[in-house]
Amino acid sequence: MTDVSQRVLTLLALLQHGRAWNGADLARRLGTSPRTLRRDVDRLRELGYRIETRPGPGGHYRLAPGSSMPPLFLDDAAAVAVAVGLRLAADATVLDGLDEDASSRALDQLERVLPTHLRRTVSAVHTATEAAPARGAPVDVDLLRLIGAAVEQRRVMTFAYRDRDGVESRRQIEPYRQILRRGRWYLLGWDLDRLQWRSFRLDRLGHAEMTGERFRPRQLPADTASDYLEEGFNAARHRAVLEFLAPLDRVADRLVDRNGTLEPVDAGRCRYTTEVDSFEWLAVTTLVIGVDFRVVEPIEFVTYCTSLRDRLDRVLTVI
């Protein structure tokens, strides 16, 4: 690489940090003169980079957004981070509506220009990493764009919504944030009909539109949208305590989807404390491990297990 090319790439790397550079400081970092710096800036502009220049006292050079996307110059750490992020995006199922090969195509383009040692690093990270599939249905990226625009422009949204019981309704909300939680996308906003904060799963939205009505953002009763959403989920969850009639090691090996605390009671028993969204899920995860247990609390789970037993008895009787 020629000295000029190396210097221009170094200049680009410095400008891509986002700060405004004093001309004298920038020339000093590059080990060149202000006149040569101006020529190098012109070279970057010819390549499509929009570089703002303010002359005189307090003047600076700064990289500004352009009308098109010129080539990026990434240092080693940034290149690896982008490559890994693209691979995870290609493997993910939380977004739909993108060109299905967009992430893979971008990754291929990036890896073709990576130095050999970085290709090996990226390959090693990919080999050692596995992304768990998202639990929910993928969400169309156009819906995320629509919500993003509505939040930014502070415009009321309307959409059709199907709740967990399959009941459909038309909703009118002031959108606040969209949140990705455990593989599912949610929209948090102020419901104008119910006059309270509500969260909506994006894969259950349909016919979403942004209206011309503007709103003034309300004060969220939590530090962040994620905190508020998590508090709502926890409030709706059921606490349960079960006592397994088997040693802790045996139960720990079989209780694969553990979302709670497992602790020993004595040599032959252990206690499991958890919070779940539904008793149905708790029954499935505990019954399939093949270990006898008794319910310490709540009585509602005892009632559910009794009804489940009666239902199974009826099924077996029919057979």
| pLDDT tens track for 42-81 | 888 887 788 888 877 667 888 877 645 556 666 777 777 8
Residue 209 resides in a domain:
yes
Domain shared by 248 and 301, yes or no? yes
Domain shared by 152 and 189, yes or no? yes
Counted domains in the chain: 4
pLDDT at 67: 47
Q: Which tokens sit at 220? A: 């969220």
The C-alpha atoms of residue 311 and residue 304 are separated, in whole angstroms, by 11
pLDDT at 68: 52
Backbone torsions φ then ψ of 236, nearest 5 degrees:
-90, 0
pLDDT at 221: 87
Residue 110 resides in a domain:
yes
Domain shared by 258 and 294, yes or no? yes
Domain shared by 143 and 119, yes or no? no
Q: Which tokens sit at 312? A: 């199974």
Residue 286's CB is within 10 A of a number of other CB atoms, namely 22
Domain endpoint, select from 86, 109, 128: 128
User: CATH code at 21?
Assistant: 1.10.10.10
The C-alpha atoms of residue 122 and residue 17 are separated, in whole angstroms, by 23
What domain range is 59 assigned to? 3-64
Domain endpoint, select from 29, 64, 99: 64
User: CATH code at 173?
Assistant: 2.30.30
Backbone torsions φ then ψ of 171, nearest 5 degrees:
-115, 150
Domain shared by 196 and 215, yes or no? yes
pLDDT in tens, 251-271: 888 886 567 788 999 989 999
The C-alpha atoms of residue 77 and residue 79 are separated, in whole angstroms, by 5
pLDDT at 1: 43
Residue 226 resides in a domain:
no
Domain shared by 246 and 310, yes or no? yes
Domain shared by 180 and 122, yes or no? no
pLDDT at 310: 86
The C-alpha atoms of residue 282 and residue 300 are separated, in whole angstroms, by 12
Residue 233 resides in a domain:
no
pLDDT at 169: 92
Domain shared by 254 and 286, yes or no? yes
Domain shared by 209 and 250, yes or no? no
pLDDT tens digits in sequence order for the chain, 319 residues long: 457 777 887 887 788 776 788 888 888 888 888 888 888 888 888 877 888 888 776 678 888 776 455 566 667 777 778 777 776 666 655 555 444 456 666 677 676 667 777 778 877 877 777 666 655 667 777 888 899 999 999 999 999 999 877 888 999 999 999 988 777 889 999 999 989 999 999 989 999 999 999 999 999 888 888 888 887 776 667 788 999 999 998 888 888 656 778 899 998 999 999 888 778 878 888 888 889 999 998 898 999 888 888 888 887 775 5
Amino acid, single-letter form, for residue 155: R
pLDDT at 58: 66
CA 113 and chain centroid, separation: 28
Residue 176 resides in a domain:
yes
pLDDT at 70: 57
The C-alpha atoms of residue 65 and residue 195 are separated, in whole angstroms, by 40
Domain shared by 50 and 82, yes or no? no
Residue 69 resides in a domain:
no
Residue 100 resides in a domain:
yes
Residue 231 resides in a domain:
no
